Amino acid sequence: MDAVERIVYYEEICDDAMEKVSNLQKALDQYQRILPKFNELKEYYQSPLWRKDRDDDANGVIPQNLKRGILSEDGIWNLLTDEIEVLNRLKDLDASQP
């Protein structure tokens, strides 16, 4: 590879990396902003109040036309699992850097 090809090659890598790092920074900023409310959601999910709401839904107390996916164990469990996976990936990336 001559100098021109090399410069073009690495310039493309740099442009792509700059875009991806910028996107990641934005995503992390958004995650950081939602984190207090997300922690509140986690507390709700682990509380007796969530179990009461879920039982009320099963007993027809909660209106059927109300969006209530939060009462699904699988939905919130998947979200919590995804969060753990993302945080672990970030740790693994950090540990793999020289």
Per residue in 32-59, pLDDT (tens digit) is 999 999 999 999 999 999 999 999 999 9
Nearest to 34 by CA among 83, 81, 94, 72: 83
Of all residues in the chain, the percent with pLDDT exceeding 70 is 100
**62-75 tens-digit pLDDT:** 999 999 999 988 98
Q: What region does 5 belong to: left with phi over 0, alpha with psi -120 to 50, or beta?
A: alpha
Where in the chain are the domains?
1-35, 47-98
Give me the pLDDT at residue 73, please: 83
Q: What is the model's pTM?
A: 0.78
Could you tell me if 54 and 69 are in contact, meaning their C-beta atoms sit under 8 angstroms apart? no
